[in-house]
Structure 1
Amino acid sequence: MEKLGIAITGSGSAVPETSMDNQALSELVETSDEWISTRTGIRQRRLALPTESLTTLATAASSQAIAAAGIKPTDLDLILLATSTPDDLFGTACRIQAQLGATKAVAFDLTAACSGFVFGLVTAAQYIRTGVYQNVLLIGADILSRWVDWQDRRTCVLFGDGAGAVVLQANDSDRLLGFALKSDGTQNHYLNLNYQASPQELIPGTQITQGTFQPITMNGKEVYRFAAQKVPEIIDKALFQANLSVDQIDWLLLHQANQRILDTVAQRLNIPEHKVISNLANYGNTSAASIPLALDEAVRQGKIKPNDIIATSGFGAGLTWGAAIFQWGR
């Protein structure tokens, strides 16, 4: 009998060695540790060295997840890389596939900014539930320091670099209990990493554009308002689909954007503080990496135990947002 349920059987994470605390940041722009930590909860962030790449971080996180799941790289059928900051615009998942030696796996990138990991989780689940693939590696990884304007104090204090990964496997019982995904492109302009180009005339009468991507721009107030309203709603939707009530949740694992957002969402859902997973003080906002990074840390600390029910939600550029309710382990 074919196994058409899914289980998340292993996790891993990797961050650059170099960290920059708020004090050091205040030498770059006019800000202070007090200002940053009271408004965001962030105290430091990791920054990728020139010798580090998205591929190296993602491969390190993936190796841990594969080992934790008790499988070999050659057992993988599919590798999904959720990222907005690839090493190569044509995609970076194949580079990771080669580094891991996952010779049987098909690999591709998926972009949904800070919602990427949750969107990837749901995407991976479809392949397993339809019986197409049995073993899927899902990676969330971003090197946002590449695309931050280090003179813009509204954004440069927020972001950090990192990678997290999980292995999903076909299972007798389905451990993905419910999910919901949403997009609203009418609010796209609140958070962008835009391509900007100047026209060039190739030959008379034929123009093209060439340029590069411009640093992150964000309307912090609007993004905060969006998250505070939409995230509790979508978690409610996913809980309804899972036929669970809020008090049955063991852990609330949100995209680590801002401690105020975490607190507000938990309050609106009536989830007590001790159930809220937060590690953004050490890493800042690592975009697609934030959920798997926090998940792996909590698993390795022994906080998250097998069969614990986790409500997770990603939200960000697009604007996109989504939630998933899953049980940890087989």
Structure 2
Amino acid sequence: MPSNDNLRATGNQDKTANGNHRVLITGTGLYTPKNAISNEALVASFNAWVAADNAANSDAIARGELTARTESSAEFIVKASGIHSRYVLDADGILDPERMRPRLPVRDNDQSSVQCEMGVAAAHEALAAAGVKAEDLDLVIVACSNLERPYPAVAVELQAALSAGGYAFDMNVACSSATFGIETAANAIRSGSAKRVLMVNPEICSAHLNFRDRDSHFIFGDACTAVVLEAADVATRTDGFEVLGSRLVTRFSNAIRNNFGFLNRTAAREDGAVESADDKLFIQEGRRVFREVCPLVAELITTHLGDIDATGSDLDRMWLHQANRHMNDMIARRVLGRDPSEQEAPIILDRYANTSSAGSVIAFHLHHDDLAAGSLGVLCSFGAGYSAGSVLLKRCG
């Protein structure tokens, strides 16, 4: 297996050659909502709304003042994305043609928040897999695309709900939040400021999605993932994954955007429409994103592999961000120099859809048990910003 003097353990197997603590991923967890929506059910709701809207605006359409809306189809969704279904916190509200958004009632301030509740479920599984008690944690990070409130931090609430030790904070790098969170956690361990870190990704993507937009109404689902990272000298699990290193990149782009924020209410027009305008939800230029992001991510992974004198042919597994099947195939093809197999670049978006930062971790969580000791893999994210993260992992044992 290729190695690098700065990343290879020597002498003291709990530290790298430069004296930093070795970092291991020792446990992962996954919370999957109970409600699933198939493409067929989603399309039926969307097309019912399209028919009603076209009927309500028939005169304006006849005069040429408006363009009739186009129906969608399950086949179109699969062809465009590879998505067949998605899990959501609430299906009834989404599938109601008169509402078309989830029903998630406001909770009392003394109740657990939705994201904290999701985080607890995923965290318990990850902690159990790692053999770690919550009170032994030094840091809790909640990293996701959309936080349900600015403060108090959801991470601090989760820390309290778990009776975890240390400190906690939230962070947001859109779909790359998990890889950026892993680097943040790993750096805390390498520096010695933490021994055990819990990084959680509670994604409620259905709440920021415009279900009346034909080009994007099918993209997202909800889920929560959790990752336990530990210093090698305290980890009890011997078959985890060593974090060999991470590489992050950001480049500003408006191709993926969500303008919702606290300033919206200060700029409301007299009709109040600004708070519900389409650009306060998820919007993207899909073809442009494909064209610009795929080469960026492939170059990031390839360059990162070069840092440890490795190439795509040395990779045993690619856990890629689960946004679009065509993007994943293109990136894997550029890195490997050939078409990837289902085992080399596993796909979970067919049933989970795009779960933002949780997607690559779901792929890792569900598709790593078969890897032998010494196997090399990359966990990679990419999304709004643009942002992209590459984390190289080696199976221990």
What's the TM-score once normalised by structure 1's chain length?
A: 0.90
The question of whether the paired residues in 1 share the 8 Å contact of 2:361 and 2:379 is answered with: no
Counterpart of 1:315?
382
1:100 aligns with 2:162: yes
Note if 1:59 corresponds to 2:120: yes
Shift of 1:67: 0.5
Residue aligned with 1:126, SS = helix
Residues 117-126 or 267-276, more deviating: 267-276
CA contact (8 A) 1:179 1:241 kept: no
What does the per-residue CA deviation read over 1:15-39, in whole Å, with 9 as the maximum and x for residues that have no partner? Answer: 1110101001111222111111122
Q: Is the 8 A contact 1:118 1:322 kept in 2?
A: yes
Could you list the runs of 5+ residues in structure 1 that have no partner in the other structure?
201-209
CA distance in 1, matches of 2:319, 2:137: 26
Q: In structure 1, what is the Cα distance between the partners aligned to 2:350 and 2:333? A: 20
**Secondary structure of 1:27's aligned partner:** helix
Cα displacement (A) at 1:130: 0.6
Whether 1:291 and 2:360 are equivalent positions in the alignment is yes
Change (3 A) 1:304 1:64: farther
Alignment of 1:130-169 (within 5 A): 130-169=191-230
The correspondence of residues 1-330 of structure 1 with structure 2, limited to 5 A, is: 3=15, 4-29=21-46, 30-49=71-90, 50=104, 53-90=114-151, 91-102=153-164, 104-171=165-232, 175-185=242-252, 187=253, 189-195=254-260, 196-199=264-267, 214-269=280-335, 270=337, 272-273=340-341, 274-299=343-368, 302-329=369-396
Please tell me whether the aligned partners of residues 320 and 363 of structure 2 are also in contact (alpha carbons under 8 angstroms): no
Q: Which amino acid aligns with 2:155?
A: A
Give the superposition deviation at 1:308.
2.8
Number of the residue aligned with 1:206 = none
SS of 1:230's equivalent? helix
Tell me which residue corresponds to 2:100: none
SS at structure 2 position matched to 1:175: strand
Q: What letter matches 1:225 in structure 2?
A: R
Bigger radius of gyration: 2
1:86 is paired with a residue whose SS is coil
Cα distance in 1 for residues equivalent to 2:391 and 2:362: 16
C-alpha distance in 2, partners of 1:86/1:142?
A: 8
Report SS of the residue matched to 1:113.
coil
Q: CA deviation at 1:304?
A: 4.0
Note the aligned Cα RMSD (angstroms).
2.3
Cα offset for 1:105? 2.6
Deviates more, 1:278-287 or 1:87-96: 87-96
Question: CA 1:319–1:277 in 2, change beyond 3 Å: closer, same or farther?
Answer: same
Determine the C-alpha separation between the residues in 2 that align with 1:143 and 1:137.
Answer: 19
Instruction: Flag structure 2 segments of 5+ consecutive residues without an equivalent.
Output: 1-11, 16-20, 47-70, 91-103, 106-112, 236-240, 269-273
CA distance in structure 2 between the aligned counterparts of 1:305 and 1:147, rounded to whole angstroms: 39
Pick closer, same or farther for the CA change 1:136–1:234 going to 2, 3 Å. same
**Structure 2 residue identity aligned to 1:316:** G
Q: Deviations over 1:143-176 (max 9, x none)?
A: 0111111101211111110011111000159922
> Separation in 1 of the partners of 2:77 and 2:210?
17
Distance 1:329 1:150, change over 3 A: farther
Query: Which whole-Å deviations, capped at 9, do the CAs of 1:287-320 have from their partners, x for residues lacking one?
Result: 0111112211124xx3345543211211111111
CA–CA separation in structure 1 for the residues paired with 2:195 and 2:291: 39
- Once the two structures are TM-superposed, the CA of residue 227 in structure 1 deviates from its matched residue by 2.2
Contact 2:28–2:365 (CA under 8 A) maintained in structure 1: yes
Bigger share in strand: 1
TM-score, length of structure 2 as denominator length:
0.75
Q: Which amino acid aligns with 1:287?
A: S
Distance 1:15 1:246 in 2: 32
| Bigger relative CO (Cα 8 Å, ≥ 6 apart) | 1
CA shift in 2, pair 1:321/1:119, >3 Å? same
Three-state SS of the structure 1 residue aligned to 2:328 is helix
C-alpha distance in structure 2 between counterparts of 1:61 and 1:159, whole Å:
19
Distance, in Å, in 1 between the alignment partners of 2:197 and 2:282 is 31
Give the direction of change, closer, same or farther, for the CA distance of 1:66–1:160 in structure 2 (3 Å limit): same
